[in-house]
Amino acid sequence: MLRGKKIGIIGTGNMGRALARGLVQANVIPADHLLLADRKAERLTPLVRELEAQAFGVDTLIPQCDVIILAVKPQDMEDLLKPRQHLFHKEQLLVSIAAGLKTDRLEACFDEDIPVVRVMPNLPVLVRAGASAYCLGQYASWPHGVVTSLLFSAVGLVVEVDETQMDAVTALSGTGPAYVFLLAEVMSAAGAKEGLPDEVSGYLAVQTILGAAQMMSDSDKSPAELRAQVTSPGGTTAAAIASLESQNFRDIFYNGVHAARSRSAELSQE
Ligand SMILES: NC(=O)c1ccc[n+]([C@@H]2O[C@H](COP(=O)([O-])OP(=O)(O)OC[C@H]3O[C@@H](n4cnc5c(N)ncnc54)[C@H](OP(=O)(O)O)[C@@H]3O)[C@@H](O)[C@H]2O)c1
């Protein structure tokens, strides 16, 4: 479905750059079908050189592309789209990754019924291990979803959700990398408290998270089953889990994720 399609990315900051690299490195599209634009030449030029992609001004890029990925900050989006609405047409697909910006806000930038897909990627797209969820706007249909899936699978896993679930996605996978960074911090500090040198404790904590994540990803067992497998009655894991559960570890965590979802809902109203 991507054969022959020209893909444009507007905004080559952290996310746009990660996506561009993923698309070329995973051979999802040939480099000469990747068109890039950014108002910062110092960001655009080295990336274009690295990937052997093509650089354009925004106004020249838009009419040439079948799919345009909008990777600018949410507050820059309307200024980018509204004055250029005449450059877009409804055979194109617009894919926005702007956090909190709903599809109806994007659709309202145009007089025509432009197909829009909203994607919430997360930070590990930088290492091609992202978790992205997308939802279709009112003028987009399943082929647009398939195209979006093919593009974002270059940088990790992709799922489709309803737009009403986007705040929950933001709270879980969007914000999630920070939960794991916090877990690494806490595990590392706990190891140091128990007598390990700081540096050793840090390495062990990060490698333990990496190894456990790899096992969860490779295994057909659920995280709960894997945990049960390593929890022998009367053993060290059982002692740790009993202590965490008795102090409402789950409720503390649920409350944290809920706070993120509420904040995401507030921000998307602003
Ligand atoms: N970082 C994350 O973890 C994450 C996760 C999910 C979603 N997102 C979303 O991803 C989007 C991009 O985030 P980011 O962290 O990659 O942002 P970023 O590093 O600031 O990159 C955005 C780039 O777009 C450029 N730009 C802005 N308006 C433009 C215009 N009209 N024409 C051409 N270039 C323009 C910016 O230039 P200036 O610097 O001059 O403004 C900047 O170089 C955001 O909407 C964010 O909400 C990010």
Average pLDDT of the chain is: 96
Instruction: Identify the CATH homologous superfamily for domain 7-166.
Output: NAD(P)-binding Rossmann-like Domain (3.40.50.720)
Mutating to test ligand 1, I would choose from 47, 56, 76 the residue with most ligand atoms within 8 A of its C-beta, which is 76
Does 176-269 carry CATH code 1.10.3730.10?
A: yes
What digits encode the pLDDT tens for the residues 45-66?
999 999 999 999 999 999 999 9
Structure-token pair, residue 72: 């600018």
**Strand ranges of the sheet holding 130-136, from the earlier edge strand across to the other edge:** 54-55, 34-37, 7-10, 67-70, 93-96, 116-120, 130-136, 156-160
- Domains 7-166 and 176-269 equal at CATH topology level: no
> 39 C-alpha to center of ligand 1: Å?
11
Give the mean model confidence (pLDDT) for residues 232-257: 97
> 11 C-alpha to center of ligand 1: Å?
5
Domain ranges of the chain: 7-166, 176-269
From CA 134, how far away is CA 124, in angstroms rounded? 16
Give the mean model confidence (pLDDT) for residues 4-17: 96
What digits encode the pLDDT tens for the residues 225-240?
999 999 999 999 999 9
**Whether pLDDT at 1 is above 90:** no
Give the mean model confidence (pLDDT) for residues 39-47: 95
Residue indicated by tokens 């820059």:
76
What digits encode the pLDDT tens for the residues 195-214?
999 999 999 999 999 999 99
